[in-house]
Each structure stands twice: as structure tokens, then as C-alpha cells.
Amino acid sequence: MATFFRRKAAAVTLGVLALTLAGGGIAVAQPATKAPAEVAQPGARLSGATGQPPVTAAEAKQARAALKASLAPPASGSVAWAVVASDGTLLQHSANVVSSTRYGTGQYQVLLDYSVVGKAYQATIGTNDQFNVPPAGEIAVAPRNQTPNGVFVQTYSSSGSVSNKPFHLFVAN
């Protein structure tokens, strides 16, 4: 009985393979239209968010200077962190964080004194007041374009529009 099922399974597999090849391979259906805005991720539906601002020559120079000033990158398993106000002011930070800048509504850059390429970043909306009750909203974090020691953070209101929010940034080494 087991031999019968084994032969039947082999025949079915061979038949499916033959039909697939005869039919021109396997086709994957592609959606004809883009997903509606209400189903897309918040960053995709925002008209005000156009990506990261370009890096100016002065910012590139500042980033290179910060890299040269590094004593040593943090040891593996350690972290760098920063608490940034909604206006871009660096409120608290670990030793390797150099500066923070607000570019426009909800767009921030945090510079460190070592390359963060290949590191893990996490950001959350938060303040440094004694009760630390953060405002509602959303946040996204990414490597800063053309700046190996920079992290780009973008904050949003709960409705998904770009908005200035204070945040905590964490970089795992």
C-alpha cells in the first residue's frame, strides 16, 4: 500500500511539473493599481514628507570633523543614546553623540563620533521631564544619506502628518 501512495505522489509531482513547464512557467499576479492611501504605511501616504533633506557642504564637513574627533567607537554590545527636544536641541546624550539638528517640520539628524553603518537604530517619541509622558505620534529612523556617522529621524502626529515631536534615540553597537 505504501508503494502505491509513493508512486502516486511521484506521478502527481511529475504531472504538476510538466503542466507548469508546458504552460510557460509560474506567473505571479501583479496588482493593476497602487494600494489606496489609507492602506499604505504612514510615510507613503504623506504629501509633506519628501524624504531626507540634502546634505550641505558645511554639514558634510561637520560630520567628517566629528568622525576624526572620535576617541574610539563603543565596544560591541554597548549603546549610544540621545534625548532630543522637538526643536532639535540635544537634551541628554551618551559620550559618543556629537550633535542634533532639526531641518524642517519633524525632520532631525543626530551625529555621532563613529560610523553607524550596519548598526541597529531605534527611536521612540519621548521627553525628559520628570514624568516622561510623551505626546502621541509616530516616528521613523534611518541612516542619514551620505553621512556614515549620522542618523535621520522623522516624527509624525497620530494622524500621520509630519509634526515636531521630542524623541529618544538608541544606537546598538
Say if 139 falls within a structural domain.
yes
Say if 135 falls within a structural domain.
yes
DSSP state of 36: P
The helix (H) or strand (E) run that includes residue 103 is: strand 97-104
pLDDT tens-place string over residues 73-127: 778 888 999 999 999 999 999 989 999 999 999 999 999 999 999 999 999 999 8
Q: What pLDDT is recorded for position 127?
A: 85
Domain containing 106 equals 57-172
Say if 88 falls within a structural domain.
yes
pLDDT tens-place string over residues 137-163: 999 999 999 999 999 999 999 999 999
Flag whether the pTM goes above 0.85: no
What whole-number distance in Å separates Cα of residue 94 and Cα of residue 71?
A: 14
What total of structural domains would you count in the chain?
1
Q: What pLDDT is recorded for position 31?
A: 55
Alpha-carbon distances, residue 150 vs 101, 116, 128 (angstroms): 11, 7, 22
How buried is residue 165: exposed, middle or buried, by Cβ count under 10 Å (0-12/13-18/19+)?
A: buried
Share of the chain above pLDDT 90, in %: 50
Say if 27 falls within a structural domain.
no
Say if 46 falls within a structural domain.
no
What whole-number distance in Å separates Cα of residue 68 and Cα of residue 65?
A: 5
Say if 1 falls within a structural domain.
no
Say if 162 falls within a structural domain.
yes
Q: Which of the residue ranges 23-27, 51-55, 135-139, 155-159 would you say has the lowest mean pLDDT?
A: 23-27
DSSP state of 122: E
Span 14-42, average pLDDT: 56
Say if 16 falls within a structural domain.
no
Span 11-21, average pLDDT: 68
